[in-house]
Copies of this chain bind each other. A is one copy, B any other.
Amino acid sequence: MTTMNLLQAVNSALDNAMAADDRVLCLGEDVGTFGGVFRATSHLQEKYGRARCFNTPLTEQGVAGFAIGLAAQGSVPVAEIQFADYIFPAFDQIVNEAAKFRYRSGNEFNVAGLTFRSPYGGGIAGGLYHSQSPEAYFCHTPGLKVVIPSNPYQAKGLLMSAIADPNPVVFFEPKRLYRAAVGEVPEEAYTLPLSEAQIVSQGSDITLLAWGAQMEILQRAADLAEAEDISCELIDLCTLLPWDVDTVAASVTKTGRLLISHEAPRTGGFAGEIAATIQEHCFLSLESPIARVTGLDTPFPLAHEKEYMPDHLKVFEAIKQTIHY
């Protein structure tokens, strides 16, 4: 065990994966000599050579298409999209190609080894194009897995699982926590199961559900709530697609209340899917409407970012409203 921040945990996962299997490659804009604009791929080119950790030309659709070809060939590419805000030029390759590759070929071909990593989220004064949380766009796409860690330990374990998983995975990293989240992480390889939500803490009055950077917010809100004698059960979804309905449903059956939070705009966000599913599974247990605390239905702002963000106070207020419905 060493102390690592989330970025170091990502780097360590890549390092372990590249050391263990020489089919593992890292590619993307500026990931080579420079080690990526956030330095997630630091030293990997030095260690594993230019052929296995390399800069691509500046084209996300190209990065994605190239990585798909590599994966189809039997390589295990980990492609970085520099910011999640810039994943959209690759949308066709990810959603129409990677996600459907195995299915459309009748399993003659697949892109088993494929992983996309990308930093997402706000809170860094990044404005419209360095703050987005586009996870919901990918969660509507059968064939993909979508994974979002919330701390360094998860980041490494889940990324190693994503790389090992025989399906294309989109892995979003909460960049606000890259350096801010620090924790104990083994230096050696390990995996954490995909599609398993994690019950962070048990509670009896309400279930709070989120993923990624939003977990820290929920924790702070739960602390505020506890001071008012509201007992929160905290769940970290970890994998959004396919997601762990059972764990969430069991919790809501117990607590009778659910609050979901994400940074992305409300309408069409993944909280909607969860709410729709849980109201179906837990209809008779629900004591109040499922609450959503999310970004506003606007592009991501800059000057009023603090007001825009679904912070702990907004979550806390929503908890109280839900409890006192």
Contact = CB atoms under 8 A, between A and B. Distances in A.
Interface of A: 61, 85, 88-89, 91-92, 95-96, 99-100, 103-104, 128-129, 136-137, 139-143, 241-242, 264-265, 267-273, 275-277, 279-280, 283, 286, 288-292, 296-299, 325
A26 to B, nearest CB: 23
Given A85-B96, A141-B268, 7 more contacts: A104-B128, A137-B137, A140-B267, A268-B270, A275-B276, A276-B276, A276-B292
A279 B275 contact: yes
B290 A279 contact: yes
A140 B269 contact: yes
Contact of A272 (B89, B276, B298): B276
Contacts of A280: 289-292
Contacts of A283: 286, 288-289, 325
Contacts of A128: 100, 103-104
Which of A103, A140, A271, A279 is packed against the most chain B CB atoms within 10 Å?
A140
B103 A264 contact: no
Nearest to A91: B91
Contacts of A99: 299
Contacts of A91: 88-89, 91-92
